[in-house]
A and B are shown apart, each in its own frame.
Chain A
């Protein structure tokens, strides 16, 4: 009896169609043991070593570098020479590190504030229809408002302290998390909910055991959008408060008013590195937390 069955025990052979797995996409990865720690990541790490993997981007970067150098040679007030940017960074790394740290702090604290508020509201919105009808319209209007534009107003209101930066960053991060999490909390299939209804699981139990884990993929999607946004929020707020002491936004605004293009671009390089680093971290956490999720299999690479 069992032998008859094993012939049919091919993953995804039937019944899983509803999960929407594209066999063409997931097929090569299905073979990877998902549970064994690191086997999958090791494979993808090795992939990075192959020239086919890094050569294209290297060629593009070299090409862009050449174009940049040519332009910088002709008109040094359009773009600073790359060597000048490098010298600016190498000449005073501590300066950039300090300012990057200041900006990162604002970005992360603002993100945490926005995250907590958005997550709590997302639970309210998905559990209480009344709360949804009250909160969602406001949230949507907030989303279409270019929030960075209120930064100057907040500087007028709060001065050059951290408050305007945190508020702008939190506001920018708020909406994607609210939408992502509230959608995720309601993404549970009716069949699963019926099973838990017949178990008479309380709302809190359903929320904890079923809804919150179901919302994780949506949450991580939102986080991947929101991490870079948080840096944008922090920098824009710093630009709007030129008297502030620290932060890469301040560095940029001061340096550009002094025509020190190399410093401006050095700060921008720092911001790009910071954003990439954050994205890398969030992706690593996501891969770990969502190893069970279908989309992990297709979206690697």
Chain B
């Protein structure tokens, strides 16, 4: 676990996945979740991954987080292995479910990450690519996302949207070099979703972290991202990479502009061909 296994091709200024293969199961039930995936995400970028269900988006995210090891190929996060990046608390994870601890109030929940893995600071300093930032004021961060009145509430007293914002603040509070988000807003209604997107962009802009964002929503991907990666299934692979050149900051009003629709259509086309290339047949 503790061996820092730096891949040969590791780059200090990007998240780099090279020739990654991930196979689940064996024999007849074998499932190629990722087939020879190459991804290069530069520091500070907001990259979304979009694709049909089961194409391996979550698997790719877990690979970056060090929660899975590739069967072939390499993964590195700013020059070190994902495991070493986790040990230095360079990675923040926002899962699909908010995953808050129900016995802690909002402030305690977002403060808990600082209390575990105390040795991470030391390890962070040893990693060349890491950008030093001072610890944020959690209360201020909570206020910034509209949770100022809820700091002492328990998760059960919050709405789904407030819980998800808490989870985002918890991840951002670590000042991670990279924030991994797996469909964080999929359980939210459209309006809440758009509002939180705006808040996410604000924090991201302020903290200059790198975000890898899995989503099912084309609109969400276009609004948030610098680059959208389109994946297709069977086997899971990346079929297109679209740079979103819309200027920032991107307000809610921008969603209605023709340029915005242009990018949405572009990604829909890619998704459609991804769908035809790798149709989801009924699971064996």
Q: A residues touching B (Cβ–Cβ < 8 Å)? A: 1-2, 4-5, 7-16, 18-19, 21, 34-35, 189, 191-192, 194-202, 205-206, 209-210, 213, 216, 292-294
Contact = CB atoms under 8 A, between A and B. Distances in A.
A209 B116 contact: yes
Nearest to B163: A15
6 shortest interchain CB distances as A-B pairs = A15-B160, A191-B99, A201-B116, A14-B160, A191-B95, A15-B187
A35 B152 contact: yes
Nearest to B146: A2
B118 to A, nearest CB: 9
Contact of A5 (B156, B180, B195): B195
B92 A198 contact: yes
Given A9-B159, A15-B187, A16-B163, A199 B99 contact: no
Contact of A191 (B97, B152, B174): B97
Nearest to A205: B116
A169 B93 CA distance: 46
Given A200-B117, A213-B103, A5 B97 contact: no
Interface in B60-92: 62, 65-67, 86-87, 89, 91-92
Nearest to A192: B99
Contact of B115 (A7, A13, A209): A209
Nearest to B194: A4
Contacts, number: 128
A8 B192 contact: yes
Interface residues of B, number: 50
B117 A11 contact: no
B164 interface: yes
Contact of B67 (A13, A198, A213): A198
Contacts of A192: 99, 101
16 contacts: A1-B199, A8-B189, A8-B191, A11-B157, A14-B159, A15-B97, A16-B163, A18-B97, A194-B62, A195-B170, A197-B86, A198-B67, A198-B180, A200-B87, A200-B117, A206-B116
A191 B116 contact: no
Contacts of B86: 197-200
Given A21-B156, A205-B117, 14 more contacts: A1-B195, A4-B191, A5-B191, A5-B195, A12-B159, A13-B159, A15-B159, A34-B156, A35-B105, A194-B62, A195-B170, A196-B116, A199-B89, A200-B86
Interface string B105-143: 100000011011100100000000000000000000000
A299 to B, nearest CB: 15
A189 B95 CA distance: 11
B188 A14 contact: yes
Contacts of B187: 14-15
A293 B161 contact: no
A189 B102 CA distance: 12
B66 A198 contact: yes
A169 B225 CA distance: 63
Most buried by B among A2, A10, A18, A292: A292
B154 interface: yes
Interface string B162-206: 111000001000100000100000011101100110110000000
A151 to B, nearest CB: 39
B163 to A, nearest CB: 6
B77 to A, nearest CB: 11
A112 to B, nearest CB: 24
B158 interface: yes
B216 to A, nearest CB: 16
B132 to A, nearest CB: 19
B198 A197 contact: no
A35 B189 contact: no
B167 to A, nearest CB: 8
Contacts of B160: 13-16
A35 B196 CA distance: 27
Contacts of B199: 1
Nearest to B91: A198
Nearest to B98: A15
Contacts of A9: 158-159, 161-162
Contacts of A7: 191
Contacts of A14: 159-161, 187-189
B65 to A, nearest CB: 5
